[in-house]
Amino acid sequence: MGFELFTAGPTFEASRRQFREAHPETARLTGEALSAYTFPRLFGATLAPAMLVELEQAVRRWQPDCVVHEPAALAAPLISRQYGLRHVAHGYGLRPPPDYLAAAMTWFGAHWCARGLQPPADGGLYRHLYLDIAPPSLQPQTPPQPNGGVFHLNPYRPADAASPPLPAELRAALQGPAALRPRIYLTFGTVFNRGPALMVAAQAASRMGGTLVVTVGADGDLRSMVGLPGRAHVLRFVDQHALLPHCDVVLSHGGAGTVLGAAAQGLPQLILPQAADHFRNARALCQAGAGSAIPLGCQTLDVVASSLRGLLASASHAVGATRLAQEMASMPDAAATARRLEQWQSCVDAK
């Protein structure tokens, strides 16, 4: 597409290995305790310092007018501040909890001090502008108040380019006259796709007697899904934007991309949170009345099947999911937000 790319630090997998070697005690943690322990040490102590040198080299070489970065890239606010650059934090889901950021800065703050700068408790994320892709009703925290404000955008609205078509067999199963309902989409993303909970969810969903679509990712185990009863379609990937309009419910781990993509389509969701931000996403969705969740220690075959039946029969969850989709539909799309971002930068330059 013509973009110039720069390396900034090690791969995420290399960072995860370094984090696990430095903090072997994480093997004893589960659930939100693991998430709260991991975020500051992985992103604040491991990844951010490793990004500094190459990120600074890229800034000096390319001399950008503005830096856009995701919230866990904590090196970006520091380099931007040092070189007097405006920077924009681009959310990928719900905002990181303030205590996660403060804990990360207990590790990374020394790098601010080493460059003669006062380390901010929020990592400097909200100094200028925040791009928020989550609807306000899902954000549990008080919105940050950066100088440039908060721009909301819905990246899940239809783009100008059409989505790749679904495979013919899958399209016939979901749209044809013989399509069986409920039509269930099951995914555990590309990081949590190898745990036992995915197979439990697949077996529970196959009990519903409808059409089941399962994606397992590039390194997921397709063979474990062989023999699922009913009409199960197991793939490595499928275009989510093309698939979701033909589904009745989504069953997932609660990753931000799945949760927000399904929310934009007005689909009720059942979440089996595993780690990371899944628990916060599940709580927010439940509070919005658009889905339900099963605690980590209760994700058995019978519980998942019972919860899924209840969700499919729930009129209130359908209403809540529709309300959430309407809220997201009122948010500007990515193209409109890009134009607004250009105007914002132009105003900054004029000053």
Could you report the per-residue pLDDT of 198-240, keeping only the tens digit for each?
A: 999 999 999 999 999 999 999 988 888 888 877 899 999 999 9
Q: How far apart are CA 153 and CA 139, in angstroms?
A: 14
Cα gap 350→92, rounded to integer Å: 30
Stated pTM of the model: 0.91
What is the model's pLDDT at position 141?
Answer: 65
In whole angstroms, give the CA distance from residue 220 to residue 190: 8
Tell me, what's the pLDDT at 196?
A: 93
Query: Any idea which architecture 12-153+335-350 has in CATH?
Result: 3-Layer(aba) Sandwich (3.40)
Percentage of the chain exceeding pLDDT 70: 96
Residue 161: pLDDT band (50, 70, 90) is low
* Domain spanning 168-329, CATH architecture: 3-Layer(aba) Sandwich (3.40)
Q: What angle do CA 103, 108, 109 make, to 5 degrees?
A: 90
* Token pair in block for residue 160: 């100008």
Q: pLDDT tens digits for 143-159?
A: 666 777 899 999 987 65
The residues spanned by each domain of the chain are: 12-153+335-350, 168-329
DSSP, res 28:
G
Domain 12-153+335-350 shares a fold with domain 168-329: yes
- At residue 165 the predicted structure's pLDDT band, cuts being 50, 70 and 90, is confident
- How sure is the predictor about 322, in pLDDT bands with cuts at 50, 70 and 90? very high
Find, among 129, 59, 76, 126, the residue nearest to 347 by Cα: 129
pLDDT of res. 122:
94
pLDDT value at residue 149: 87
Q: Structure tokens of 169?
A: 């067999």
Strand order in the sheet with 129-132: 66-69, 86-90, 129-132, 150-152
